[in-house]
Amino acid sequence: MREPTKKPSHSVIQPEIAVFGGTFDPPHTGHVMALSYVAATENPARILMIPTWKHPLGKEPLAPFEHRKAMCERATQHLSQVEVSDLEARLGGTSHTLRTLEALSKNFPNHSLRWVMGSDILGQTAQWKDFDKIEKLAPPILLPRGGHHREHQGKNTRGIADTFPWSLPEISSATIRQHLHLGENTGTLVPKSVLHYIQQHRLYGAAGAQDPNP
């Protein structure tokens, strides 16, 4: 009797979850461009955009969490792979990246994780809690940001800023908040849906903010 042919064994490829965290106070077009790039080039199974609950470096957001989450949802409504998560609000306390990733690892045991970060973060990693563990748990997808092109030697980090022929625009949420507070035109710095939400809820003193395309 012929023995059944054994099928060749193949390693199981885990679907990836890309994780993009930040204060998003407010989310701007630079954030949307970063998410669009990751969706197009990495093609993860899903992308989680996670607003910070309590910043570990003491940078308290001006807008409440509920508003920042709602603005993120509006900014990414055209990106089908992106889900806005309230994980850090549910975890409570200080929002350390490692704790967030560990929680995601437990929630999605059959997925691999990738941490999406801009090259501007590289100069701050010494202030982060256990950055080496973050790199190991969720090898970063490094995106270049204007004015912050630096080489990174982390063996788990995917992407080297200096090798990119482009960079994300140098857009600052703080600058946007200043424009809004002064009633100045924000141009294309903020997605139109986000600007309407800001005006509707009078965030950042933006009652008189101008919409360039009413």
Least confident span in 92-101, 147-156, 193-202: 147-156
The conformational region for residue 23 under phi > 0 = left, psi -120 to 50 = alpha, else beta, is alpha
Asked if residue 64 lies in contact with residue 20, where contact means CB atoms within 8 angstroms, the answer is no
pLDDT beyond 50 at 10? no
pLDDT above 90 coverage of the chain, percent: 55
Q: What is the model's pLDDT at position 9? A: 41
Kindly list the domain boundaries of the chain, sorted by start residue.
16-205
Full 3-state SS string of the chain: CCCCCCCCCCCCCCCEEEEEEECCCCCCHHHHHHHHHHHHHCCCCEEEEEECCCCCCCCCCCCCHHHHHHHHHHHCCCCCCEEECCHHHHHCCCCCHHHHHHHHHHHCCCCEEEEEEEHHHHHHHHHCCCHHHHHHHCCCEEECECCCCCCCCCCCCECCHHHCCCCECCCCHHHHHHHHHCCCCCCCCCCHHHHHHHHHHCHHHCCCCCCCCC
pLDDT beyond 90 at 103? yes
3 falls in which pLDDT band (50, 70, 90)? very low
Q: Average pLDDT over the chain, rounded to whole?
A: 82
Q: What is the model's pLDDT at position 19? A: 98
pLDDT beyond 60 at 157? no
- Tell me what the mean pLDDT of segment 148-167 comes to: 51
In this prediction the pTM is 0.82
What is d(CA 40, CA 166) in angstroms, rounded to the nearest whole number? 15
Bond prior to 26 in cis (omega within 30° of 0): yes
pLDDT beyond 70 at 214? no
Q: What would the pLDDT profile of 51-75 be if each residue is shown by its tens digit?
A: 999 987 667 778 999 999 999 999 9
Q: What would the pLDDT profile of 160-199 be if each residue is shown by its tens digit?
A: 444 566 778 888 899 999 999 888 989 899 999 999 999 9
Asked if residue 19 lies in contact with residue 113, where contact means CB atoms within 8 angstroms, the answer is yes
CATH class name, domain 16-205: alpha beta
Q: What is the model's pLDDT at position 120? A: 73
- Tell me what the mean pLDDT of segment 11-40 comes to: 90
Tokens of 147: 């004015």
What is d(CA 28, CA 39) in angstroms, rounded to the nearest whole number? 17
